[in-house]
Amino acid sequence: MQPHSLIMGKTRSFDKRIFSRLGRPAISFAIAALLSLSGYHGSAFAQNLDGYASETPSKPRLSSPFTRGLQGLLGFNRMAAWIGSRKVEDKIREKVDGHIDVDIEPYSASDLAEGKARQLTVKGEDLVYDDAFYVSHFYLQTDDRTPIWVNPENGKLRSPVEADVTIHLQDDDVNRSFQTQHMRELLNDVHFSLFSGEQRLRLIKPQVDFIPNRLRFSTQLASKAPDAGKPIPIKLETGLEPQGDRSLIRFKDLTIAPIPGISNMDMVEAVVEEALQYVLKPSRLMPIDHGNMEIKSVQLSEGNLVVKGRVRLLPHS
């Protein structure tokens, strides 16, 4: 076989697919992680993975070193990575406004066309999802020890993928989110079990301020009971730290300012803490239905909250 025949034989198998399918392998993972971590209720990832077969091999079989090297020399790998990255960016922009930068590191062009990639990096700034959730900075990078492997026909994940994630919120991001329709509906019906009964409350005009090592939160707390009295003004401060269970983050040294006319502050503190857990906990705002997330660190400074963690997404069985 002549050298040019070998080259054409290797490229024919994927050249028609590159422009129509390239990039789809990373789209499902990128959107799932980005939307889940930006606060989307009802994981897009779960919808993408619904009904996937039970086979979950741990590592993809790659093209030969010769093939990968040849495609690299011919510039196909670089072209494939560029096309795939742009496709992922375009797909994310269908759901998220703001500056998005995606970088796919492929094994080779043919491997990427078959749904296999070494690493994916997603960077975002000034993001807004669904006119509801605001994020100043977002960074996600998959671990090259858990390479991406998906079905290129439907974007369904075929093996576990782990990634490091950094989310940077400003207090203005949170306060703007509070004003959106989605959050107003959530804050208008806060319900949880406490004192052997269900509590249903409204949080009116919530406000968050980040200060060094602490979070300040103020609101008016109103019961939804028919005989409810006037709303109670609440002002509190709390620290935040990682927690190992599904809650992800716990409050530390929570203090509530005295409330005129209220003598039983212990009961108020219990109600307020449960209400905050309902509204602010990442387990509600960051659902990951087929995987898990671990918070590594929480840093609070003037006007800023930086959360670093690790997410692991799993195939649907």
Distance from C-alpha of 66 to C-alpha of 6, rounded to nearest angstrom: 11
What integer pLDDT is reported at residue 21 of this predicted model? 41
> Going by C-beta distance under 8 Å and a sequence separation of 6 or more, which residues neighbour residue 104?
23, 26, 81, 84, 85, 88, 112, 117, 119, 120
Range scoring the smallest mean pLDDT among 23-27, 69-73, 275-279: 23-27
Give the sign of the dihedral formed by CA 84, CA 35, CA 215, CA 162.
negative
What integer pLDDT is reported at residue 212 of this predicted model? 96
The reported pTM is: 0.76
281 pLDDT exceeds 70? no
Angle at 164 between CA 241 and CA 69, to 5 degrees: 170
Rounded to an integer, the average pLDDT of 261-277 is 75
Tokens of 72: 């690299």
297 pLDDT exceeds 50? yes
Q: What rounded mean pLDDT belongs to the chain?
A: 76
- What are phi and psi for residue 226, nearest 5 degrees? -60, -35
Domain ranges of the chain: 3-169+299-313, 176-283
What integer pLDDT is reported at residue 289 of this predicted model? 57
- What are phi and psi for residue 300, nearest 5 degrees? -115, 130
Q: Are strands 232-242 and 119-129 parallel, antiparallel or unpaired?
A: unpaired
Q: Cite the DSSP H helix spans in 107-226.
A: 109-113, 171-178, 181-187
- Closest residue by Cα to residue 145 from 164, 167, 124: 164
What integer pLDDT is reported at residue 54 of this predicted model? 34
Rounded to an integer, the average pLDDT of 162-176 is 93
Strand partners, 87: none
What integer pLDDT is reported at residue 316 of this predicted model? 64
Query: 125 by DSSP, 3-state: which?
Result: strand
148 pLDDT exceeds 60? yes
Burial class of 30 by CB neighbour count within 10 A (0 to 12, 13 to 18, 19+): buried
194 pLDDT exceeds 70? no
